Amino acid sequence: MKKIILFGDSIFNGFRDGQDTDLVTNLFQKELKDYAQVENISKSGATTVEAIDYLHLIPQKRDLVVVEYGNNDAATGWGIRPESYERNLNEVLTQVGKAIVVGLCYPDPTNSEINQFYGDERLDLFNGIAKKVAEKHSAQFVDILPAFRKLKAISTYYQKDGQHLTDKGNEFLVNQIMPAIKKELD
């Protein structure tokens, strides 16, 4: 059986009501059935600064790492400089080897409280960095930002905080990433 590691922040942790959940892990596991075991070592609130500190948590025996960092990095209130994000993400991919890189998740555009920390220009900048780093490491890049931007009734995909996803949002997220996982494992 293949082993897939989810390595990211609260988006991959299915953050709900102030708690990490297994929602995203379970959705991936359901899609992969008995073909692959999914292990989630994501850390809510983490940026790529912490990702480097957490690299030792990634099991040596694995077939694929799905890397999802960027939203916390891009936040103006608690994030990091674009140059630091690029350097850190490069280090993560150098260390993990075979990986898929998931681009930034789009915060609910109708939620002014969360959007004060982002903005399309900053999201696009960090998303572009993630794509560039993925290409440098010959990793698939899953560009979810445009997919989220096209959604109708977009607020139904988010919890009240405007950043973390509802069940519908988590299903959408996983459905965007699954084709890349299947391609890597075939």
pLDDT tens for residues 129-178?
Answer: 999 999 999 999 999 999 999 999 999 999 999 999 999 999 999 999 99
Distance CA 158, CA 163 (A): 6
pLDDT of res. 186: 81
Mean pLDDT of 95-106: 95
Amino acid in the structure at residue 182: K
Q: Where residue 126 falls among pLDDT bands split at 50, 70, 90? A: very high
Residue 115 has pLDDT above 90, yes or no: no
Kind of pairing between the strands at 2-8 and 64-68: parallel
Summarize pLDDT for 15-67 with one digit per residue, the tens. 998 899 999 999 999 999 988 999 999 999 999 999 999 999 999 999 999 99
Amino acid in the structure at residue 55: L
pLDDT of res. 3: 96
Domain map (residue ranges) of the chain = 2-185
Of 64, 19, 16, nearest in space to 37 by CA: 64
Residue 181 has pLDDT above 90, yes or no: yes
Q: Is 43 exposed, middle or buried, given 0-12, 13-18 or 19+ CB atoms closer than 10 A?
A: buried
Summarize pLDDT for 12-25 with one digit per residue, the tens. 999 998 899 999 99
Q: Where residue 125 falls among pLDDT bands split at 50, 70, 90? A: very high
pLDDT of res. 184: 93
pLDDT of res. 39: 97
Q: Tell me the CATH number of domain 2-185, given options 3.40.50.300, 3.30.565.10, 3.40.50.1110, 3.90.700.10.
A: 3.40.50.1110
Share of the chain above pLDDT 70, in %: 100
Residue 185 has pLDDT above 90, yes or no: no
